Copies of this chain bind each other. A is one copy, B any other.
């Protein structure tokens, strides 16, 4: 049993999966893989996500040190989200899931690029 930040995990894998739990985190990370993105850009490409949830997930990813947030002191505000090294390695693994799906479900199109 692992205790981390007030939460319980039955094993290390359970703990590891926590970083990408839910419908959106993996998708967000993939969108940040090639290059950093701004908030609105991210919302646009992550089709279907609500502003509220995007914000929540970005906060969680930041506090987990998977991404970093860069705020430019401009008006209107400009914010960029980048993957950390730790986040890049995680995202590489996530992309393997995508490849797995491509292999076993080749007829499903992949518009998530």
Oligomer: number of copies:
2
Which residues of chain A (16-59) have a CB below 8 Å from chain B? 16-17, 20-21, 23, 26-27, 30, 46-49
Question: Binding site of A, secondary structure by majority: helix, strand, loop or mixed?
Answer: helix
A101 to B46, CA, bound (A): 26
Q: Are B108 and A15 in contact (CB under 8 A)?
A: yes
Contact yes or no, B15 A105, CB < 8 A: yes
The answer to whether B97 and A16 touch across the interface, beta carbons within 8 angstroms, is yes
**How far is it, in angstroms, between the C-alpha of A86 and the C-alpha of B16 when the chains are bound?**
22
Q: Are B12 and A110 within 8 A (Cβ)?
A: yes
Chain B residues with Cβ under 8 A from A103's Cβ?
Answer: 89
| Complex Cα gap A20–B109 (Å) | 20
Residue A75 at the B interface, CB < 8 A? no
List chain A positions with a Cβ less than 8 A from chain B.
1-2, 4, 10-17, 20-21, 23, 26-27, 30, 46-49, 86, 89-90, 93-94, 96-98, 100-105, 108-112
In the complex, 28 of the A-B residue pairs with CB atoms within 8 angstroms, ordered by the A residue number, are A1-B111, A4-B108, A10-B27, A10-B49, A11-B27, A11-B111, A12-B110, A12-B111, A13-B26, A13-B27, A13-B30, A13-B94, A13-B98, A14-B23, A14-B26, A14-B27, A14-B112, A15-B101, A16-B100, A17-B97, A86-B104, A89-B100, A89-B103, A93-B93, A93-B96, A93-B97, A93-B100, A96-B96
